[in-house]
Amino acid sequence: MTTIHLLGFPRIGARRELKQLQESYWQQAIDEAALLKGARELRQRHWLLQKGAGVELAPVGDFALYDHVLDAQILVGALPTRFGFDAAALTTAQYFELGRGNAHQPALEMTKWFDTNYHYLVPEWHAGTAFSANPAALLAQLGEAQALGLKAKPVLLGPLTLLWLGKVKGAAFDRLRLLPALLECYRELLAALAAAGAEWVQLDEPILALDLPPDWLAAFAPSYQRLAEAPVKLLLASYFGSVAEHADLLKALPVAGLHLDLARAPQQLDAFLADWPADKVLSAGVIDGRNVWRADLGALLTPLEAARARLGERLWLAPSCSLLHCPVDLAQELTLDVEVKTWLAFAVQKLNELKLLKRGLRDGRDAIAPELAGSDHAQSSRRASPRIHRPTVQARLAALAGGGSQRHRPYPQRAAAQRAWLNLPVLPTTTIGSFPQTAAIRAARAAFKQGELEAAGYDAAMRREIELAIRRQEALGLDVLVHGEAERNDMVEYFGEQLSGYAFTRYGWVQSYGSRCVKPPIIYGDVERPAAMTVRWAVYAQSLTSRPVKGMLTGPVTMLQWSFVRDDLPRSEVCRQIALALNDEVLELENAGIRVIQIDEPAYREGLPLKRAEWPAYLAWASAAFRLCCAGLDDATQIHTHMCYSEFNDILPAIAAMDADVITIETSRSDMELLSAFGDFAYPNEIGPGVYDIHSPRVPGEQEIENLLKKALAVIPAERLWVNPDCGLKTRGWPEVEAALAHMVAVARRLRARL
């Protein structure tokens, strides 16, 4: 019988119960016992749910109280030494300090988990890092699962992936030197799990989908040779991309099974089926763990039937990756459009899809005829729905000229036209868009959403905030003003709500890090802008002042990156649709007299594919989408973009290809290091490197800002340099914002006078 298993299940709970537990514990509203009891109940609920859905091997160890990579560090007894904690005797309070920092130590660095929006805590490796097996917590959870009558499969981060994800601290050395000791530790862990009754252990090695250096690749065979000595069956899990190029290596590894992500890379199945070793299981990850679309069961069954004919019982079924990246349960969505809802499947629904596939394979398609008909109907209704297909959008895109810049003339001539009317001083000052989202603003929005405040009252409240922001910026003496984004809850949701083709859930939360969750909108259909989105706010702000007010939009790549995206069109095409809708907005803003417009792209780098060979194609369509936003604008209209919190050095040509007149970037945390790359590359247009970090309430001193600006002046000619903070100010309070910006303006003026 085909085995159904999961790589992992969302741990936050259908109603973000884990978040409530964590935050109540941090605020000391509940004690440790209540936290741990709540977490245990949540795990049990998830296991019972899986059991009820027919999952035969339930994951154990996928439930982390804060982060699974932190848990892996504890498991191998290798916590960052700077905390001075003993992994074997770690308290719950200490556990959270690693993730959140304490009075003496900043938290572990956080970075994105492959190409997802989940952030993990980065291990810190020293030449002297030692490992010791610390399986107590995992064994306890294994016991919990077994007590529920489940056959449980412990899930561990594989040793090579764990090493790879860590950063070298202190003197440079090759992380692979830690491998032999780490493998010994894993052997102990595996032995302990086997002794506790685990038949299978899953080792996740998602780095197999990256461009791995040859020495890392070469380390797989000897490492797994060593691990295979343990008395358990190993299931090696790959995901997030194709591993077909390593097929020979993987077939020869002494593991009992291999998992493939067949949602991301369905074509790789052939490379493995061909001469799959007779003693190994092949786990087909056919249900998409990264997206929310209902599976096309009939279409999935075709390759699975062929695979089963070859493999028999050795074919297993699973989601493509851990369901961590999916919302929990669609059944809770009572306000979602009913037709759109029939096209979706969240984690719980995906379990049912697996069960149906299994029955279809075992008993034949006739045995699931009604369910197959339902699945077919969902697919065909989605294909045909007028909600999805807007001929006008498709026709407009088809008629577009593609290619290079969509502006009339190149940057130097545009810059002259812009200078002529803007009349800005050298080193002009500006901000990134948002001003403090005060309690009053949030209260007004909540009241409006609950129907306690009518539209006119809400509008008036937002106008008062905009006026306040304009007056304060004038008093500070800033050169290019913003309206402050008071009316926006979130930079993607705000636009998605006004565009066609977007749906919003009530409980579609996905963990981002720790207790933080995001609720990505769902792009299900052709995107179109039925009406102006920001124009009235921008025009109102501009009416209050004689200084230029910068319009503020979220760029097409960021709109895409922070949403669940339809799977019936290439991402590049969805991006073009969004760009076209934004172009309508940009032109309407220009027409209404808003002639400086910022199009934010903080997620531009995030969209990069895992494999470098795929970078050029992505960067080509991403920069083309940005240029499309600006098509047809007058040369005198100045386009800004903004990016933050990522590395840009290796994609500078693609950033330049966006051809924004001005880019503002976050740089102060790296002490302007980032900027020197822009200098070396000879970035051709204007740049505003952030001169202070907006993440802390600390007010930067004038000297500190001056030092950073001088560094910037050494790399970028003064006539192309702007002065601004690192990012938006919505999380700050007004007093510190006013003090910091006053310092910034004073420094700009002083340096100007000296130029």
Which residues are annotated binding-site positions?
16-19, 112, 117, 432-434, 485, 516-517, 562, 600, 606, 642, 644, 666, 727
For ligand GLN (CB under 6 A), the number of binding residues is 13
- Which residues does the annotation place in the binding site for 5-methyltetrahydropteroyltri-L-glutamate? 16-19, 112, 117, 516-517, 562, 606
Residues composing the chain? 755
Residue 491 binds: one of ligand GLN, Zn ion, none (C-beta under 5 to 8 A by kind):
ligand GLN
Give the integer Cα–Cα distance in Å for 527 and 581.
7
Beta bridge partners of 502: 523
User: Residue 642, interface with ligand GLN (CB under 6 A)?
Assistant: yes
Site map for ligand GLN, 542-581, x if CB under 6 A? Answer: ----------x-----------------------------
Site map for ligand GLN, 683-702, x if CB under 6 A? Answer: --------------------
Give the integer Cα–Cα distance in Å for 723 and 716.
12
Stretch that binds ligand GLN, among 80-88, 179-187, 353-361, 431-439 (CB under 6 A): 431-439
Active-site annotation holds for 104:
no
Q: Considering the complex, state which of residue 466 and residue 644 has its C-beta at the smaller distance from Zn ion.
A: 644
What residue type is 701 in one-letter code?
Answer: G
Token pair of 485, please?
């984004």
* Cβ 552 to ligand GLN shortest distance, Å: 6
* Cβ 727 to ligand GLN shortest distance, Å: 5
- 526 SS3 class: strand
* Cβ 551 to ligand GLN shortest distance, Å: 11
Q: Compute CA distances 275 → 233, 255, 260, whole Å.
A: 21, 16, 15
* Cβ 575 to Zn ion shortest distance, Å: 20
- Which residues does the annotation place in the binding site for L-homocysteine? 432-434, 485, 600
* Cβ 384 to ligand GLN shortest distance, Å: 37
Q: Considering the complex, state which of residue 491 and residue 625 has its C-beta at the smaller distance from ligand GLN.
A: 491
Contacts of residue 277, defined as CB under 8 A and 6 or more positions apart, other chains included, come to 251
Q: Considering the complex, state which of residue 552 and residue 594 has its C-beta at the smaller distance from Zn ion.
A: 552
Give the integer Cα–Cα distance in Å for 752 and 750.
5
Residue 551 binds: one of ligand GLN, Zn ion, none (C-beta under 5 to 8 A by kind):
none
Give the integer Cα–Cα distance in Å for 135 and 149.
21
Residue 580 binds: one of Zn ion, ligand GLN, none (C-beta under 5 to 8 A by kind):
none
Q: Compute CA distances 475 → 479, 502, 738, 745, whole Å.
A: 11, 40, 10, 11
* Cβ 432 to ligand GLN shortest distance, Å: 4
Q: Considering the complex, state which of residue 485 and residue 706 has its C-beta at the smaller distance from ligand GLN.
A: 485
Cα radius of gyration (the chain) = 27
Q: Considering the complex, state which of residue 129 and residue 641 has its C-beta at the smaller distance from Zn ion.
A: 641
Residue 433 binds: one of Zn ion, ligand GLN, none (C-beta under 5 to 8 A by kind):
ligand GLN
Q: Which residue is nearest to ligand GLN (CB)?
A: 728
Residue 590 binds: one of ligand GLN, Zn ion, none (C-beta under 5 to 8 A by kind):
none
Residue 552 binds: one of ligand GLN, Zn ion, none (C-beta under 5 to 8 A by kind):
ligand GLN
User: Residue 520, interface with ligand GLN (CB under 6 A)?
Assistant: no
Q: How would you write 162-209 as a 3-class SS string?
A: HHHHCEECCCCCCHHHHHHHHHHHHHHHHHHHHHCCCCEEEEECHHHH
Asked whether 430 and 676 are in contact (CB, 8 A), the reply is no
Say if residue 48 is exposed, middle or buried (CB neighbours under 10 Å; 0-12, 13-18, 19+): middle
Asked whether 58 and 151 are in contact (CB, 8 A), the reply is yes
Cα–Cα nearest to 236, from 286, 201, 207: 201
- 694 SS3 class: coil
Beta bridge partners of 640: 598, 662
User: Residue 432, interface with ligand GLN (CB under 6 A)?
Assistant: yes
Q: Considering the complex, state which of residue 491 and residue 582 has its C-beta at the smaller distance from ligand GLN.
A: 491
What residue type is 616 in one-letter code?
Answer: P
Torsion-angle region of 312 (φ positive above 0: left; ψ -120 to 50: alpha; else: beta): left
Task: Measure CA 339 to chain center.
Answer: 27
Instruction: Figure out which of the listed residues 288, 600, 606, 659 binds ligand GLN, where binding follows CB under 6 A.
Output: 600
User: Residue 514, interface with ligand GLN (CB under 6 A)?
Assistant: no
* Cβ 484 to ligand GLN shortest distance, Å: 9
In the Cβ-directed half-sphere of 178, how many Cα atoms lie within 13 Å?
A: 28
Catalytic residue among 259, 377, 389, 695: 695
Residue 600 binds: one of ligand GLN, Zn ion, none (C-beta under 5 to 8 A by kind):
ligand GLN
Say if residue 380 is exposed, middle or buried (CB neighbours under 10 Å; 0-12, 13-18, 19+): exposed
User: Residue 198, interface with ligand GLN (CB under 6 A)?
Assistant: no
* Cβ 639 to Zn ion shortest distance, Å: 17
Residue 39 binds: one of Zn ion, ligand GLN, none (C-beta under 5 to 8 A by kind):
none
> How many C-beta neighbours within 10 Å does residue 661 have?
21
In the Cβ-directed half-sphere of 165, how many Cα atoms lie within 13 Å?
A: 28
* Cβ 432 to Zn ion shortest distance, Å: 6
Contacts of residue 665, defined as CB under 8 A and 6 or more positions apart, other chains included, come to 642, 643, 644, 648, 674, 675, 678, 687, 688, 689, 690
- 257 SS3 class: strand
Q: Considering the complex, state which of residue 347 and residue 476 has its C-beta at the smaller distance from ligand GLN.
A: 476
Stretch that binds ligand GLN, among 101-109, 262-270, 428-436, 715-723 (CB under 6 A): 428-436
Binding to ligand GLN (CB under 6 A): which residues in 379-408? Answer: none
- Which residues does the annotation place in the binding site for L-methionine? 432-434, 485, 600
Site map for ligand GLN, 304-343, x if CB under 6 A? Answer: ----------------------------------------
Instruction: Figure out which of the listed residues 433, 436, 520, 556 binds ligand GLN, where binding follows CB under 6 A.
Output: 433
Binding to ligand GLN (CB under 6 A): which residues in 720-749? Answer: 727-728, 730
Which residue do the tokens 């989908």 mark? 209
Site residues (vs Zn ion, CB under 5 A): 602, 644, 727
- 501 SS3 class: strand
Q: Considering the complex, state which of residue 250 and residue 665 has its C-beta at the smaller distance from ligand GLN.
A: 665
**Per-residue DSSP letter, 106:** P
Residue 730 binds: one of Zn ion, ligand GLN, none (C-beta under 5 to 8 A by kind):
ligand GLN
Residue 80 binds: one of ligand GLN, Zn ion, none (C-beta under 5 to 8 A by kind):
none
Interaxial angle between packed helices 92-100 and 32-52, expressed in degrees from 0 to 180 and rounded to the nearest 10? 80
- Which residues does the annotation place in the binding site for Zn(2+)? 642, 644, 666, 727
* Cβ 324 to Zn ion shortest distance, Å: 26
Contacts of residue 156, defined as CB under 8 A and 6 or more positions apart, other chains included, come to 61, 72, 75, 138, 186, 189, 201, 202, 203, 204
Q: Give catalytic residues, as residue numbers.
A: 695
Rule CB under 6 A: which residues touch ligand GLN? 432-434, 485, 491, 552, 600, 602, 642, 644, 727-728, 730
